Amino acid sequence: MTTITTGGDSSDGIRLVLLKVRDEAGSLLSVVEVYGKTYTVGVRKTFADSLKVVSLTETGGVFTFGSSVLTLAVGQDILN
């Protein structure tokens, strides 16, 4: 697993792990972990209060956290 650290105040930050992207009935869903809790979410859905899925491919996804744009590959985690 690859960890990327971006700028930001750690007290207001987030740790996001993209575990996998799966195809369910023709729609891509991301399986993500935020501080130990797992979410299965599709594009344009908000989860963990303030994270949103912007787009997904079979190998990764783009998410937003506040004004930050986070791009992750499957198996990657990010500290923002």
Residue range of the domain that includes 34: 2-79
Question: What distance lies between CA 16 and its chain's CA centroid?
Answer: 5
Closest by CA to 64, choosing from 40, 75, 47, is 47
Residue 9: pLDDT over 50: no
pTM for this entry: 0.84
What's the structural domain count of the chain?
1
Closest by CA to 10, choosing from 77, 80, 65, 69, is 80
Please tell me the predicted confidence (pLDDT) of residue 76: 96
Instruction: Calculate the average pLDDT of the chain.
Output: 89
Task: Write the CATH number for 62.
Answer: 2.30.30
Residue 2: pLDDT over 70: no
What contacts 2, CB < 8 A, 6 or more positions away? Answer: 73, 75, 76, 77
Handedness of CA 64, 69, 72, 76 (dihedral sign): negative
